[in-house]
Structure 1
């Protein structure tokens, strides 16, 4: 929700959204988040020793519409198992004919290791359309503070690239944390973007200097003292944060200690075990309705299945052998967002759907339990 004391002109916010609209809403077709499409890899770039960027074009050749900060759900067969994972789009919507994800190799990571070891130019994989609400297009402000760690730099990089591409010269301070200077993703590009956009300032803080004994950036971990030195006006800024759960927990505590307004803080995370407060229950019918069996019909395929009111629509669909795009299964990522054409559900989500989407009849099937028979737009 917009904070009542946020300082911006409504006309400016409207104009800003129109600038983005002219970029992606007028070209190509909408790629729904529950629609699978084939992607073809056209470039692989080594960003660091354990981070690669994979660029793709769509199977139909049309541009991809998305907002900076959104993600794709990637689907691949690893071994004999179908695996789906969410990856933030690191490219900007201003370059819509290619879409890229930037992936860190993680010890034991099924999808990340598969991508690093197998994804080459010409190889294909399936993906579901862009989703997610971690984007500045709904939170226009005079000043921004981007805080990231590790591969959490990717959504903020999409936001920054978009701003520079459009010549907006936004007042952005970008503070990135890494293990060593060699682990800083997009280091050279951020320097270049800062030269192109005078109001973009970037700072790096590394736990150690690694192979760069002459490192002149910050060392240790981000602290309130260091933030105050680099960004003395941080209290006035809209904050967007992405990184490991522990990092974001520390950042929230740091900003809270410094007196930053929590309503101006936004974070991206698919790890809901890290203190994400559940959103209020969104109920289309009384939650205490008698438990019984309900019929769920799929309007596009004419398939149907029966389920009880004690299980989620997603879990029941999987039991019935019906494949529905999903990833986190806990109301965070929004991949299973589907329009309910008829009937009612109780939904208890964790931020993976916007109020305006709910008003249009969309629900997250992973955290929705039926209170009547349903007809879904599937």
Structure 2
């Protein structure tokens, strides 16, 4: 019987030991998975969803870059990170161009508080975009390896189907366990390839179709901050208990609870007073922040044409000439219209005094 090259020890790896690159697997353009092992044979002890910091010897001096671990501690003989280079990347670009099997680098960690281990639940909803998929991959692999049927709805947003990282591996899991449901949405399909999945920006309607029982699930979200803010706004407007929402930015992973940034989203307050001035009708009506412009108009005997009433059709678009509103729509208005002051009355909540042309 052939013996392993390494004699695995009973001790977990510590960051006093260099990591040896064991394998490099290309994923997409400018993206690859790097697998490391400990030359001493030490194993890796961490929680799925945590990150590691790599000390990279780039020209001009070493830089430290933090990457979420895309492998799972249920497979402890190695550790992997899946990295994507951006236009301004320095460390990641060096890894893609120069880091090869056999090379050794310094690493620190693992660290982080973003993990399903810290918030056990029977049902999970993972929501990610871009390389924010990596901690979800780690947590999903753990669930797969546990030997129990998972209950995970995995929602991921990407620019194109070809840019969905780790897609084949996830589909391999989902093909074997019906408790893992994959829901992908893309901005546009790849040329000359059909796309049977969702298309367009993730919205309330789309989320409701993907995960009808979202109110019952523990939610983990990772991606660019604008994406995560949009997800938070969707969930708040849908009545989700945000005590069951957890997030990690792939730009700045959090090491401890004390380091976690304060989420200071605008959330309409039922106890806060507001006022809507309908300039063409000459009416000014007091209301609460949780009222919609459409609802206040109807109660005041004013007619704003409307259709779907959840920000999709765009029928209730009106011009706002003063004040601020909190609007969570479902694609019924363009960014250009919003910049010019237009709002959808059905999903706009007044923040203080607002004037609209009605």
- TM more than 0.5: yes
- Structure 1, unaligned stretches of length 5 or more? 1-26, 273-327, 335-347, 353-378
Mapped contact 1:179–1:206 kept (Cα < 8 A): yes
Mapped contact 2:51–2:111 kept (Cα < 8 A): yes
Kindly indicate whether residue 184 of structure 2 is the aligned counterpart of residue 204 of structure 1: yes
Mapped contact 2:52–2:68 kept (Cα < 8 A): yes
- Structure 2, unaligned stretches of length 5 or more? 1-8, 262-358
Deviation string, structure 1 residues 179-224 (Cα, Å, up to 9, x no partner)? 0001001111111101222101001000011225410111111111
Mapped contact 2:68–2:250 kept (Cα < 8 A): no
Aligned to 2:140: 160
Aligned to 1:350: 259
Deviation string, structure 1 residues 242-298 (Cα, Å, up to 9, x no partner)? 1111111111111111111110000012656xxxxxxxxxxxxxxxxxxxxxxxxxx
Q: Which has the larger radius of gyration?
A: 2
Kindly indicate whether residue 137 of structure 2 is the aligned counterpart of residue 215 of structure 1: no
Task: Give the TM-score of the pair, scaled to structure 2.
Answer: 0.68
Mapped contact 1:69–1:159 kept (Cα < 8 A): yes
Structure 1: distance between partners of 2:113 and 2:192: 38
Q: For 1:191-340, list aligned pairs within 5 A.
A: 191-269=171-249, 271=251, 332-333=254-255
Aligned to 1:178: 158
Change in Cα spacing, 1:49 to 1:215, as seen in structure 2 (3 Å) is same
Structure 2: distance between partners of 1:59 and 1:244: 35
Task: Give the TM-score of the pair, scaled to structure 1.
Answer: 0.64
Structure 1: distance between partners of 2:92 and 2:251: 16
Q: Greater relative contact order (Cα 8 A, min sep 6): structure 1 or 2?
A: 1
Structure 2: distance between partners of 1:270 and 1:188: 22
- Number of residue pairs the alignment of both structures matches: 253
The offset of 1:31, in angstroms, is 4.4
Aligned to 2:119: 139
Of 111, 114, 122, the match for 2:94: 114
Structure 2: distance between partners of 1:100 and 1:188: 17
Deviation string, structure 1 residues 123-177 (Cα, Å, up to 9, x no partner)? 1111012111111112111110000101100000000011101212110000110
Mapped contact 1:36–1:129 kept (Cα < 8 A): no
Mapped contact 2:152–2:180 kept (Cα < 8 A): yes
Change in Cα spacing, 1:249 to 1:78, as seen in structure 2 (3 Å) is same
Structure 2: distance between partners of 1:60 and 1:209: 46
Aligned to 1:283: none
Mapped contact 2:13–2:38 kept (Cα < 8 A): no
